[in-house]
Amino acid sequence: MSYETNSPIVDRALAPVPLQTISSSRNHDALTALSQQARRDLQRLNYPAPNWVIAPHADNVLDVLIVGAGMCGQTAAFALQREGLRNIRIIDAAARGGEGPWATYARMLTLRSPKQLTGPDLGVPSLTFRAWYEAQHGSGDISNFDASVPGWAALHKIGRVDWRDYLLWVRDTADIPVENLTRLDSLTDEDSGAVARITGPHGSETVRARKVILALGRDGSGAPRWPSFPSLSMQDPLAKGRVFHTMDEMDFTAMQGKTIAVLGAGASAFDNAACALEAGATVQQFARRKLMPQINKSKAASFPGFLRGYSQLDDQRKWRFYTYIFDEQVPPPWETVRRCDAFSTFSLQLGCGWKDVQPMQDSVRVTLSDGSIKHFDAVIFGTGFDVDMLNRPELERYSAYIDTWAHHVSPQQAASSIEAARFPYLAPSFALQSVDGTHAEAMGRIHLFNWGATMTHAAVGSDIPGLGIGSTRLAHAISADLFVQDADLHWQHLQEFDESELLETRWHQAGEA
């Protein structure tokens, strides 16, 4: 059901919104006990697997450098360690707990995904979110440890901060080493591998690695999408503190009593509108579309067969699937819309885009699509993220040569789905590919594990449903690549291998094969 007016449907009673909480209380003793159980389970799985890579290089050359230690980078590291790749480093520019969006620009109360999904656990039951939550708050089937906190059965969706804390717990339990406050400044190459310039708490250093995984989050294959308006320049000092993107840091408490405009009708637009409303602002939200999308088509593309098989499809069928999903658009969660609709100070104007935005000394002047003019204390763009490899500073050396989907569909198709055409066209190993052979070898060492992998691999490098499949596929591919590169060394090792199996028998002859 849709509505096109500025007011929500009021002709029937709406279903109550289940209890939603950002985080629950912590039971540290329970988590310690669960960590011990999980470590025993990992030992039974021979984790971490012994390192098998024969190091033909200098000691200071990594097998893998992972840039980004959010949900995807962390899980990729876990998968690599399960494969016996131990000579790795994982860096993240944020402080511990600030990796990914969960404590920064993600402003929803709960995750959008169903609570039962798994991924960061890589199939280890004691590492699942459910195990983490039940250890502290019970199953909820009979009784709760704390009556004020719902047990698993009564939990509606996972709290955003709970998810952040759970990820940190998995990291610690699985012994995934992360170097925080360490950023990637540049990425180049030499004959032996990639050369990364990084800066951390102890200064700058040059790191050499045979493989680099870029797990830089939702904007890791582009940048926040800023709409273009004739009178708006983000370099204008008048825009500071008045014009925001949903990814920006914002002081919502300063919005109390102010009138805020939000552009967009996606989940993040509603999340930010809700934060402003809860701070005491009046919010007017605008969207060009006349109807809110009702069905999340991506949910129908989240089952194992799709997530495993999509990468095997021909290009035309891949293009058909995801351009359809993109065109249908993802509706905001109904709980998020109701979070805003609960305020009398909220209005939503559908079918009403913006023609211009002009920051002024004491307001922001917005020209609506019908030519009318409104003034607001601040505006927030809920316009998402662009995929455009030219926007990635760490890939500046290669960006002009990165193969994209525009080269694998017809010009008419590329013109009709411009953003889809800008997605990188990746190898089966998630590696970048060169459109003309320039820097091909160097780009083959760089593996993209974020939203940019979606057109080639489905959403296995960005969203929870496909995370376990994607990180395992990535780890398997890198493991195979490193073996193939060193095949001759492994042949030599095979010939030199002399660990005798036949001991303590009358047939044993020492020193003979």
pLDDT along the chain (513 residues), means of 10: 39 82 95 98 95 77 96 98 96 96 93 94 97 94 66 94 98 98 96 92 96 92 91 93 95 97 96 97 96 93 96 98 94 94 96 96 96 97 92 92 97 96 97 97 96 96 95 98 94 90 76 56
Contact call for residues 82 and 122 (beta carbons, < 8 A): yes
- 5 closest CA partner among 341, 395, 418, 371: 341
CA distance 116 to 136: 17
Exposure letters 57-80 (e unless 16+ CB within 10 A, then b): beeebbbbbbbbbbbbbbbbbbbb
Q: Which residue has the tokens 């230690």?
A: 69
Taking each helix axis from N to C end, the angle separating 160-173 and 28-44, rounded to the nearest 10 degrees, works out to: 50
Which amino acid makes up residue 425?
Answer: Y
CA distance 226 to 245: 7
Q: How many other C-beta atoms lie within 10 A of the C-beta of residue 420?
A: 23
Which amino acid makes up residue 44?
Answer: R
CA distance 469 to 119: 8
Contact call for residues 161 and 22 (beta carbons, < 8 A): yes
The DSSP bridge pattern shows strands 222-224 and 385-387 to be antiparallel
- Please, what are the domains in the chain? 28-221+428-485 (3.50.50.60), 226-294+331-383 (3.50.50.60)
CA dihedral 377, 383, 386, 390 (to 10 degrees): -20
CA distance 188 to 453: 21
pTM above 0.85, yes or no: yes
Contact call for residues 90 and 77 (beta carbons, < 8 A): yes
pLDDT at res. 5: 36
